[in-house]
Amino acid sequence: GESVGLHLPTLSVQEGDNSIINCAYSNSASDYFIWYKQESGKGPQFIIDIRSNMDKRQGQRVTVLLNKTVKHLSLQIAATQPGDSAVYFCAESSSGTYKYIFGTGTRLKVLA
């Protein structure tokens, strides 16, 4: 719940603006990446994923960009809405390991 977000960086955006949330991943061998959204008191919810053979993938109002050169992942949310307010975090995995490494997350606050 709320206690999870106590030490998180916060991004505040105006309703209707676009949001960009960034994530630096750690393992050069990682080839699969996921973005999750977590609302207070709930479990992480899958948003979008991308494999390392892609640089960009689009979903409904969301786009994930992958820069393997600098090991950076970003999540773009178009026309941010109040319901987008949550903690967002990325996860990385490499084929055959069956394990995932999770970032600590960014809190997105949508201002009316």
Partner 1 sequence: DAGITQSPRHKVTETGTPVTLRCHQTENHRYMYWYRQDPGHGLRLIHYSYGVKDTDKGEVSDGYSVSRSKTEDFLLTLESATSSQTSVYFCAIRETSGLDTQYFGPGTRLTVL
Q: Residues interacting with partner 1, by CB under 8 A?
A: 1, 3-7, 32, 34, 36, 41-46, 49, 51, 89, 91, 93, 95, 98-105
Q: Residue 3 burial by CB count (10 A; 0-12/13-18/19+): exposed, middle or buried?
A: exposed
Minimum CB–partner distance for residue 57 and partner 1 (Å): 11
Minimum CB–partner distance for residue 10 and partner 1 (Å): 14
Element (H, E) at 10: strand 10-14
Minimum CB–partner distance for residue 92 and partner 1 (Å): 11
